[in-house]
Amino acid sequence: MRPGLALLLTTLLTTAQPLRADEPPKDLRGRLAEKLTAEGQAALKVSPKPGGKAAKPAKAEAAQGAHRPHWGYAGDGSPERWGELAPENRSCAIGTRQSPIDIRDTIKVDLERIQFDYKPSSFSVLDNGHTIQVNVEPGNSLQVMGRRFELLQFHFHKPSEERINGRSFDMVAHLVHKDAEGKLAVVAVLLERGKDQAQIQQVWNHLPLEKHQAQAAPVTLDLNQLLPTERGYYTFMGSLTTPPCSEGVLWLVMRQPVGIGAAQLAIFSKLYPMNARPIQPAGGRLIKESW
């Protein structure tokens, strides 16, 4: 024990009034605490071990995490750095089946039709800091290749992330689905400048005023009206186009684009002028196209 601390405790014990039988121990502790001087309190502090390193302050650790760039589409968090930003994003850098791709060199085959089972549904709109996302109530699904996928949400990218034979489109809507095993299927609806799109306008009408705060809409959305009339499509295996860039995603890219009004494009552009990941290597993967 340090000499100063020993002397302090001895003084406290010798000068303290005798403990009465009916005095609770907590009262004695209170009396002793009142006699502690600033010097005594300093003496009670634990010193670091000789030769040891002082612990890093919690604030310093928090600040270090706070300064780590967040993923985005420009600057320190741009797509070419996604794989470095967090361990779970490693696939963004080393994956071999990444999305999006330039769809070319397809093989035309007799693909089964995608069976869409969409119905007018309640929805909420969220600005998640990367895009506008629409969360849809359960009950919308599709069936393809003998599997049923439930719609979770859809969101937008500008310009389109996918290209077809080198051609890019004004925007794209990604409809994200999941099956009972947790596997994902994404339907991509290409959007090009044309007539106003009624369902997209419903989404824009209910944009939240603040980021990260979903706004429930008092109307319903019918996603059948967002799909093209001609249901031909391309399909291939790929990944999420945003971190963590997980692979094993079934992609269903609708071949016919859908129109979107100039004013509707301008609204999204004001929020997100560019939020598309660059084209990734196809890597010789098989791309099928329906007749």
CA atoms within 13 A on the CB side of 283: 13
Q: Which listed residue (70, 130, 155, 174) is catalytic?
A: 130
SS3 letters for 153-170?
A: EEEEECCCCCEECCECCC
Amino acid 67: pLDDT: 61
Contact 196, 217 (CB under 8 A): no
Same-domain status, 143 and 213? yes
Q: Count the domains in the chain.
A: 2
> Would you state the structure tokens that stand for residue 178, as one six-digit string?
């999941």
Same-domain status, 8 and 121? no
Amino acid 290: pLDDT: 98
Same-domain status, 163 and 279? yes
Q: Which of 185, 199, 168 is nearest to 279 (CA)?
A: 168
- pTM to 2 decimal places: 0.78
Q: What average pLDDT does range 215-241 have in this prediction?
A: 98
pLDDT at 42 over 70: no
Same-domain status, 30 and 127? no
pLDDT at 7 over 90: no
**What is the rounded CA–CA span in Å between residue 284 and residue 207?**
40
pLDDT at 271 over 60: yes
Q: What average pLDDT does range 55-76 have in this prediction?
A: 65
Q: Is residue 51 part of a domain?
A: no
pLDDT at 234 over 80: yes
Q: What is the pLDDT of residues 84-120, one digit of tens each?
A: 999 999 999 999 999 999 999 999 999 999 999 999 9
Identify the bridge partners of residue 41 per DSSP, sorted by sequence position. none
Q: What average pLDDT does range 243-260 have in this prediction?
A: 99
Q: What average pLDDT does range 188-205 have in this prediction?
A: 98
Same-domain status, 215 and 149? yes
- Indicate the pLDDT class of residue 69, thresholds 50, 70 and 90: confident
Same-domain status, 36 and 116? no
Amino acid 72: pLDDT: 98
Contact 171, 268 (CB under 8 A): yes
Give the chain's length: 291
- Select the more confidently predicted residue: 165 or 39: 165
Q: Is residue 265 part of a domain?
A: yes
Q: Is residue 88 part of a domain?
A: no
pLDDT at 64 over 60: no
pLDDT at 253 over 60: yes
Amino acid 32: pLDDT: 40
Residue 250, SS3?
Answer: strand
Domain containing residue 264: CATH number: 3.10.200.10
Give percent of the chain with pLDDT exceeding 70: 77
Known catalytic membership, residue 130: yes
Identify the bridge partners of residue 175 per DSSP, sorted by sequence position. 154, 187
Helices (H), 169-223: 198-205
Which of 6-15, 66-75, 267-276 has the least mean pLDDT? 6-15
Same-domain status, 190 and 102? yes
* Enclosing domain of residue 33: 3-15+24-43
How high does pLDDT run on average in the chain?
85
Q: What average pLDDT does range 29-39 have in this prediction?
A: 43
Same-domain status, 121 and 39? no
Pairing between β-strand 184-193 and β-strand 171-178 as defined by DSSP bridges? antiparallel
